[in-house]
Copies of this chain bind each other. A is one copy, B any other.
Amino acid sequence: MSLLVVGSVAFDAIETPFGKTDKIVGGAASYISLCASYFTKNVNLVGVVGDDFPHEFISHLNNHGVDTEGLQIKKGEKSFFWSGKYHTDMNSRDTLITELNVLGDFDPIIPDSYQNCQYLMLGNLTPKVQQTVIERLTTRPKLIVMDTMNFWMEIAMDDLKKTLSMVDVLTINDEEARQLSGEYSLVKAAVKIQEMGPKYLIIKKGENGALLFHGKEVFFAPALPLEEVFDPTGAGDTFAGGFIGYLAKTDDISFENMKNAVIYGSAMASFCVEKFGTERLVDLNENVLSQRIEVFKKLVHFNLTETNS
């Protein structure tokens, strides 16, 4: 099924306890579309870059089957740039630089050929832009998934709530879920957030896995215990890419199948953090991915046939 991915395509400069990079390619839509391309070859990208952005990466996306007709290239302008430094625990980071550049007045134009997409993944962006995308689609997709972050809760809560009321699935981290709902308990937070619109909620807990909520149903997927988390940048977007890619491929949006999608998202994220930026995501293959899914199965599998007596 066709998938539309909207989000930032950008430069990142990253410092972790293991090393640092110059400007490398990043951005939510880069991770999401690259990752989703392992599941479906019908991935359409809407985003914006400056003419400083490397053509090689765009060709690379195209070679992966990602259509970039919707990627605007602004002449004489610069791409979005983020720079950050991770603490030892890798769960927290300081933002050193944020240059919005072309993202400051991003107008998400949807090419005609992208209309009638069945799946829509809205990467983290201004809630207003996310909303505009939904409004510009002539038919509502079968499933709309959005990501967001605490920043928008602080400066654009009304817009965010409006956008939330229009989507099916929200992906968010644990601290953001607490901030959005005003509830410390994630179970209580999930109830409140579902009342805001999304009938499915994924709470990402980094190295502590992810929770999928839907009404009274809850599913938990662990993160893979890794010897080394080299660079967590993009892990959440990679998760989202695996999640929506798997759903678009299987075209089944039941809660049961969403569980599988969460496992695929977690598996993809476990690759992402093994190297800097998108490096580990460019040359995966079916075999490597299947093996990792088996590791996830084994990680949580137990065989309790009888219960206590």
Question: Could you tell me if A304 and B184 are in contact, using CB atoms closer than 8 angstroms?
Answer: no
Q: Which of B226, B264, B290, B301 contacts A187 (CB 8 A)?
A: B226
Q: Mark A231-252, 1 if CB is under 8 A from B, else 0.
A: 0000000000000001000000
A286 and B309 form a contact (CB under 8 A): yes
Q: Are the CB atoms of A209 and B185 closer together than 8 Å?
A: no
> Contacts of A225 on B, CB cut-off 8 Å?
186-187, 211, 218, 220
- In the assembled complex, which residues on chain B have CB atoms less than 8 Å from the CB atom of A307? 286, 289-290, 293-294
B228 & A185 in contact (Cβ 8 Å cutoff): yes
Which B residues touch A290, using CB under 8 A? Answer: 307-308
Q: By the criterion CB–CB under 8 Å, are B260 and A303 in contact?
A: yes
Complex interface: chain B residues within 8 A of A263 (CB) = 302, 304
Is the pair B303, A256 in contact by a Cβ cutoff of 8 Å? yes
A205 within 8 A of B: yes
Chain A residues bordering chain B, tally (CB within 8 A):
45
Q: With A188-B227, A225-B187 in contact, do A219 and B299 touch (Cβ < 8 Å)?
A: yes
Tell me whether A184 and B308 are in contact (CB under 8 A).
Answer: no
In chain B, what residue has the closest Cβ to A246? B308
Q: How far is the CB of A260 from chain B (nearest CB, A)?
A: 5
The answer to whether A297 touches B289 (Cβ under 8 A) is no
Contact of A300 with B by CB under 8 A: yes
Interface membership of A132, Cβ < 8 A: no
